[in-house]
Amino acid sequence: MGVDVQSVDDVVLSLSHFGDRYLQRIFSLEEIEYARVHPATRAPYLAGRFAAREAVVKVLRLDDAPPPWSDIEITGVQRPRARLTSVALDAAATLGITEILLSIDYGRTHATAVAIADATAINNGRAGD
């Protein structure tokens, strides 16, 4: 399980300082488009998506060497899911993770995300690890 909290104000600052460069470095095209279509909730939405990525990194135990942000895509709005590629997908496979379930709470000042790994029964010999 991984949990992360992201300040909405920090996202607002990043958007004002880095603009499209920030968006393209962190988020998928679908997430960027959703944020543009819903400007009133843009910052909390993006904060939640950022927190979800951080929570996934914690589930994958990659805190010291996180994968590129593009390796973790958060799909869906009502039922968010993590779609992994490359380094993140390899890390999940090593841990026996078959799916990562997400819950994101979008608050006015902070967004919180919880990621829970669904792993195979024996977890590649690491049961209880």
| Confidence band of 122 (pLDDT split at 50, 70, 90) | very low
Q: Rounded CA gap, 90 and 86, in Å?
A: 6
Q: What is the pTM of this model?
A: 0.87
Number of domains in the chain: 1
Of the two residues 119 and 103, the one the predictor is more confident about is 103
Could you tell me if 93 and 128 are in contact, meaning their C-beta atoms sit under 8 angstroms apart?
Answer: no
Distances (CA, A) of 37 to 7, 9, 52: 21, 20, 21
Q: Dump pLDDT digits (tens) for 30-75.
A: 999 999 999 999 999 999 999 999 999 999 987 678 888 989 999 9
CATH number at 30 reads 3.90.470.20
Range of the domain at 54: 2-125
Token pair recorded at residue 11? 């996202």
- pLDDT for residue 30: 93
pLDDT averaged over the chain?
90
Q: Rounded CA gap, 128 and 107, in Å?
A: 34
Q: Tell me: pLDDT of 91 over 60.
A: yes
Token pair recorded at residue 74? 């958060």
Of the two residues 64 and 124, the one the predictor is more confident about is 64
